[in-house]
Amino acid sequence: MRKEKILILISFLAFISLGLPDGLLGVAWPFISDRLQVPLDRLGILLISFVAGYLSSSLSNSKIMEKVSLGLLLTMSCFLTGTSLFAFVLIEEWFLLIIAAYFLGTGGGAIDTSINVFASAKFSASVVNWLHAFYGIGATSGPLILTAFIIQGHTWKAGYWSVGSIQILLGILFFATSKLWEQQDKEDNTSSHTSYIKILSQPKVWVSIMLFFLYTGTEIGIGQWLYSILIKSRGVSEASGGFWVSAYWGSLTLGRIVFGFVLIKVATPKVIFLAASGLILGTLVLFLNINMQLSFMAVVLVGLSCAPIFPSMISSVNNWFGTHQAGTIIGFQVSAAMMGGALLPAFSGFLSRQYGLEIITLVFFIQAILLLIGYIMLKVKVV
């Protein structure tokens, strides 16, 4: 039991390290784009490169784990993300930044996939929600760290140096505790190898894949584009914009902590339905832009609504499809989630080049509607 508690704590730290770079980029991107003299919509290319790296490590995770223990994998992944963040500061060429984003995604993908697989086998649904809350802590801390440096007169580079150093320190911690992970690797090594063709022949599977694609594309898209929309389109100051982004990630984090307790007593399907409905309302108010106060409340509502959706859907896969298919399907879902996290924000960026930044808030609203429709289809078994 003591070893399990230690691993839970370290897993929380791993997800903090996963969230830190995601929260940084949304605030730093306007400065990076000015420095490299590239348009704002090039963020989409950077995110696609990040996701390509993520997929390369997540899809090969099982083969990597055959040769490397989980603790060592986490160690190497943190070192890789740390050095990639340092590269963001040092690089002066756009194409080199794309390469750095690829390796940043590679490290993040290894951390995300390995810990999620481990948690699904070892931890309860509430702990999984809390685990993802620590991702939010990292994503919330990133903008706060960067904004604090900017307010104090430093450049965005100071934030990247600091977060990169934190990644390296976490890597050292994982290396120091690698034997604990290795012991756990030898336990519960049972997995079902259901045919991919058989699994993908089920329409319900594709609907669930679409849900993860839409949800993550919306969550990441809001986190990445909100700052640019506020300071470039709505006249919000840089300091206030950073606070709004932190409020978004912070409400998402708080929501996951709270919903970890709520899910002990409230049925998971009800929580997902209410959260998806709240997401629709929040994105609608953000799109309407009635006034700053309502828009800020909408950002907080969107963060709270996003909070339980991803971990609760992960926890529901066994009920949706049965334990014999769950492992394989989760792999498809997580991969789809990362693709959505890159492609949908990129799509929003391409639209903004033609129709302006405000079109992005309309895209968020439409994605939220599609998410609820897809979940209803899955729940009532109409597919």
Domain range annotation of the chain = 2-379
Q: Is 237 exposed, middle or buried (0-12, 13-18, 19+ CB in 10 A)?
A: exposed
* CA dihedral over 132, 137, 138, 140, signed as positive or negative: positive
Residue with tokens 């709004």: 244
pLDDT at 123: 75
- Using DSSP's 3-state secondary structure scheme, residue 190 falls into coil
**152 backbone dihedrals φ, ψ, rounded to 5°:** -80, 5
DSSP state of 40: G
Topology of domain 2-379, per CATH? Growth Hormone; Chain: A; (1.20.1250)
Write the CA distances from 349 to 41, 219, 235, 361, 373, integer angstroms.
Answer: 5, 15, 19, 11, 24
Q: Are 348 and 229 in contact (CB under 8 A)?
A: no
Q: How many residues does the chain have?
A: 383
The residues, any chain, with a CB within 8 Å of residue 370's CB and separated by 6 or more, are 214
Q: Is 70 exposed, middle or buried (0-12, 13-18, 19+ CB in 10 A)?
A: buried
pLDDT at 372: 97
This prediction's pTM: 0.74
C-alpha 235/C-alpha 282 separation (Å) is 21
C-alpha 36/C-alpha 151 separation (Å) is 22
pLDDT at 66: 66
Write the CA distances from 368 to 215, 283, 359, 371, integer angstroms.
Answer: 8, 8, 15, 5
From first to last of its 383 residues, what are the pLDDT tens digits of the chain? 677 778 788 888 878 877 887 768 878 888 888 888 888 878 878 878 987 898 888 767 666 766 777 788 888 999 999 999 999 999 888 999 999 999 999 998 888 777 776 776 677 778 888 888 887 788 778 878 888 888 887 888 888 898 899 889 989 988 888 777 765 555 544 444 556 788 888 899 999 999 999 999 999 899 889 998 999 888 888 888 888 988 998 898 889 999 989 988 888 899 999 999 999 999 999 999 999 999 999 999 999 999 999 998 988 877 788 767 766 777 788 888 988 987 899 899 889 988 999 999 999 999 999 999 999 998 876 44
C-alpha 256/C-alpha 195 separation (Å) is 34
